[in-house]
Chain A
Amino acid sequence: MKREIVIVKKGVDKKVMAAGMCCHGAMLPLIFEPVIFETM
Chain B
Amino acid sequence: MVLSKYTKIYPSAEGADSRILYSTKNAATIIVPSGMIDDIEKGGLSEEEKETLVGLGFLVENPDQEKREMLGFISELNALNKSLRYVVVLNLDCNLGCKYCFEGVRKGKFYLTDEVEARFVDFVKRSDLSNKKDLQITFYGGEPLLSMERIISISKKVRTFAESKGIQYGFSLVTNGTRLKPEVVRRLTPLGLKSAKVTLDGPKRVHDAFRPFRYGSGSFDIIVRNIEEVCDSVRIQVGGNYTRGNYREFPLLVDYLMDRGLTPGKIPMIKFDPVVNESSEFALPDFHDGCDSTEEPWLVEATILLREEVLKRGYRQPKIMPSPCVMALDDSLIVNYDGTLYKCPGMIGRKECCIGDVASSANNSRGSHGLDDWKNEDCLACSYLPLCFGGCKYSKLVRDGNMRGVNCKKKYFDGTLEGLVAQDVRYDL
Interface residues in chain A, defined as those with a beta carbon under 8 Å from any beta carbon in chain B = 2-12, 14-33, 35-37, 39-40
Contacts and interface: CB of A to CB of B under 8 A. Distances in A.
B269 A35 contact: yes
Given A29-B303, A29-B318, A37-B134, A11 B77 contact: no
Nearest to A22: B325
Contacts of A31: 318-323, 387
A29 B27 contact: no
A33 B269 CA distance: 10
Given A25-B273, A25-B346, A39-B194, A5 B32 contact: yes
Interface string B308-322: 000000000011111
Given A11-B57, A14-B80, A25-B273, A36 B325 contact: no
A22 B170 contact: no
Contact of B324 (A6, A12, A21): A21
A10 B58 CA distance: 11
B27 A40 contact: no
A19 to B, nearest CB: 7
A26 B393 CA distance: 11
Interface of B: 20, 23, 26-33, 35-36, 46, 49, 52-53, 56-57, 76-78, 80-83, 85, 102, 133-134, 136, 138, 168, 170-172, 194-195, 197, 237, 241, 269, 273-274, 276, 294, 299, 303, 307, 318-326, 329, 332, 344-346, 387-388, 391-392, 394-395, 407, 409, 412, 416, 420, 424-425, 428
Interface of B is mostly: mixed
B81 A36 contact: no
A28 B294 contact: yes
Contact of B31 (A8, A16, A28, A30): A8
A32 B31 contact: no
Given A14-B76, A36-B170, A20 B324 contact: yes
B130 to A, nearest CB: 16
Contacts of B322: 12, 17, 31
A31 B124 CA distance: 27
B49 A3 contact: yes
Contacts of B195: 35-36
A5 B49 contact: yes
Given A3-B33, A28-B294, A40-B168, A8 B237 contact: no
Given A30-B325, A30-B388, A5 B53 contact: yes
A11 B56 contact: yes
Contact of B329 (A5, A15, A21): A21
A37 to B, nearest CB: 5
A2 to B, nearest CB: 8
B395 A30 contact: no
21 contacts: A3-B46, A4-B33, A5-B52, A7-B28, A14-B80, A17-B323, A18-B80, A20-B323, A21-B323, A21-B325, A27-B407, A28-B303, A29-B318, A30-B388, A31-B323, A35-B237, A36-B194, A37-B170, A40-B133, A40-B134, A40-B194
A31 B329 CA distance: 14
A12 B197 contact: no
Interface pairs A-B: 10 shortest CB-CB: A11-B28, A27-B392, A36-B172, A11-B26, A20-B323, A18-B80, A6-B31, A8-B29, A24-B345, A9-B29
A27 B395 CA distance: 7
B153 to A, nearest CB: 20
Give the most central of A3, A4, A11, A27: most B CB within 10 Å: A27
A36 B56 CA distance: 29
A22 B237 contact: no
B56 A35 contact: no
Nearest to A24: B345
Contacts of B345: 24
B81 to A, nearest CB: 4
A3 B77 CA distance: 35
